Copies of this chain bind each other. A is one copy, B any other.
Amino acid sequence: MQSLEDVLAFVRVVETGGFSRAAARLGLSKSIISRRVARLEADLGVRLLNRTTRGIAPTEAGLEFKTRCAEILRQLELAREAVTCREKDIAGTLRLSVPLSFGIARLAPAIAAFSEKNPRLSIDLSVSDRFVDLVAEGFDAAIRIGVLPDTSLMSRRLGAMQAFVVASPAYLARHGTPEKPQALTQHECLIYSAGSRDTWQFRSGRKWLSIRPQGRFRADNGEVLRAAALVDLGIAVLPDFLVEDAIANGALVRLLGAWPMPEASIHLLRPGGGAAPARLTALGDHLVEWFGSSGETAAKL
């Protein structure tokens, strides 16, 4: 395996017509250049240069090798430029994994707007509540809500999501309205079965209150729980983006407003270390801005 430094030294010697000039060109001593070319000749088993004390002349083999290697060096530079320019360019393909309900309700418009702003970028969105292996499945990034699952991933906080306790007016008419969190244990609670926690958290002054919900209905999807609440089955804890409209139109009522629930952070996750590609940084910036304004909207409810 020839060393590229040997090849470069040789090519420069032929181009400049001498070892000393090549050395000056490359900012090295002439002894290094002499040695590199000699090593290249030894590796190849071919004499590339005829030497006199007054200079050099390439052999026929040397001329051919120089021609080919100058092109190879050029191709290598093009390869380097291709990958470094790409990283600085908002182009190519961006593969994203996003949560199901959040992806449809909140992210689709955000990413559509981003895509419109960056027409040279293709976006491949995979919508799933399943935890994907970003590396093995070839994703550039994932958007995740709540607890971060894997510390080997690089994360950037995009904003927050607020959970509300809600029930239908008909349910409340029949069962009464809970006046404080502890009263929930006397109610039919609609339970999210994919959560990392089996308690509902409320802030009470400086403290956090944990309530273990009881109920006969469980589901691992927020939209299903919303549907259950809308048909009067019970009290649910649901993210803002799933209940904003129903609260606005009166189909659901927000409860226990004096006991706020914790916000869940929205994060952009990506594999590995080092600098993020430009297209990911741009997406992150765009989403921070998007959720920044949307987050304020939710807080006003």
Contact = CB atoms under 8 A, between A and B. Distances in A.
A187 to B, nearest CB: 43
A68 to B, nearest CB: 4
Nearest to A137: B57
A72 B75 contact: yes
B61 A83 contact: yes
A257 interface: no
Contacts of A196: none
A203 interface: no
Given A47-B272, A65-B82, A83-B65, A3 B2 contact: no
Nearest to A76: B72
A84 B46 contact: yes
Nearest to A138: B57
Contact of A3 (B4, B75, B82): B4
Interface centre among A3, A83, A134 (most CB of B within 10 A): A83
Given A3-B4, A72-B79, 14 more contacts: A1-B5, A2-B80, A3-B5, A44-B83, A47-B277, A50-B134, A52-B271, A61-B277, A64-B82, A65-B79, A65-B82, A68-B75, A68-B78, A69-B76
Interface of A: 1-5, 7-8, 41, 44-48, 50-52, 54-57, 60-62, 64-65, 68-69, 71-72, 75-76, 78-80, 82-84, 86-87, 91-93, 133-136, 138, 152, 271-275, 277
- The 5 residue pairs across chains A and B that have the minimum distance between CB atoms: A68-B79, A61-B83, A50-B135, A50-B271, A4-B4
